[in-house]
Amino acid sequence: MAIDSPAKIVIIGAGPIGLEAALYARFLGYEVDVFERDVLASSLRQSSAEITGSFVENATSLGLAALEAQGEFDRPADDATLTSREFAERYCGPLANTDLIQDCIHEHSSVVRVTLNPNHSNTSPDDTEDDEITAPKFIVHYNSPDAQTATTQAHVVIDASGENSAVDWTETQLASCPDTGIYLGGQASFGATREQWSSPENLVTREQHGYVIGRKSFGNEVPFGKSFTLPDGHEQIRVLFSILGDRAELDLYKTVRL
């Protein structure tokens, strides 16, 4: 079942993958809210280690197009090797300030849990005649900057909250469904048992519309003998939105270029 724009997507975490997912979603016309518990790209800002690969390998064609369209982008050399902090400051920060996503990002807003909207009709895709947008499936609970607990509704939730997050999905009862791409298992992190679901195809589900991508999806163990890299996350984004749109060929990273 396709989820067509302007459905509402909530993204948890404004790290490099959450920001890229937000941009991709906005290009497709979805409504987006990004909740970040700290400041954007906070994980990257904490490290002065070099990011594997060149600048252009860790950026996306979509991100670069948005930045160039904005003007006044001090673009690093394509083959530059940046530290995590430099990548946060020279790419993620400017990206977050582009017109498409700057109004969607809510810093100092920590998502606590995701629950199911009781008003959502849980029609199975097989019973659905068309792609009509129904009441949002999820309720996202977060602490706003003034420390008040608030909620917002979402048709789709993308959890890109990195490795040290503790978003509680338990009430959605997705934990028992490995093919949803969401594993809880009563643990704060995904751990070794996440490994078998870490390929892009298994991170997503046509039915549930709850997704875990980015560093978090790889858990604390190293799957496939390799560590998570930003291009892994970009591939997850591409797959996720092709499934959301029910368009296997959809790939904005190929079609939107300078």
Residues that bind ligand FAD (CB under 6 A): 12-18, 35-38, 42-44, 47, 49, 51-52, 84, 110-111, 160-162, 165, 167, 214-215, 228-230, 233
Contact between residue 206 and residue 1 where contact means Cβ atoms under 8 Å apart: yes
Nearest to 137 by CA among 19, 243, 248, 10: 10
What burial class does residue 202 get, using C-beta atoms within 10 Å of its C-beta: 0-12 exposed, 13-18 middle, 19+ buried? middle
Nearer to ligand FAD, 27 or 142 (CB): 142
Contact between residue 78 and residue 54 where contact means Cβ atoms under 8 Å apart: yes
| H helices present in the chain, as ranges | 16-27, 42-45, 55-58, 61-70, 84-87, 93-96, 230-244, 252-255
Nearer to ligand FAD, 44 or 95 (CB): 44
- Helices 16-27 + 61-70 axis angle, to 10: 70
Contact between residue 47 and residue 85 where contact means Cβ atoms under 8 Å apart: yes
Least distance to ligand FAD, CB of residue 194, Å: 13
Nearer to ligand FAD, 227 or 255 (CB): 227
Nearer to ligand FAD, 66 or 213 (CB): 213
Least distance to ligand FAD, CB of residue 130, Å: 34
Least distance to ligand FAD, CB of residue 111, Å: 4
Least distance to ligand FAD, CB of residue 162, Å: 2
DSSP 8-state assignment for residue 135: S
Is residue 10 helix, strand or coil? Answer: strand
Nearer to ligand FAD, 123 or 164 (CB): 164
Least distance to ligand FAD, CB of residue 212, Å: 10
Nearest to 174 by CA among 125, 233, 113: 113
Tell me which residue has its CB nearest to ligand FAD. Answer: 15
Least distance to ligand FAD, CB of residue 188, Å: 11
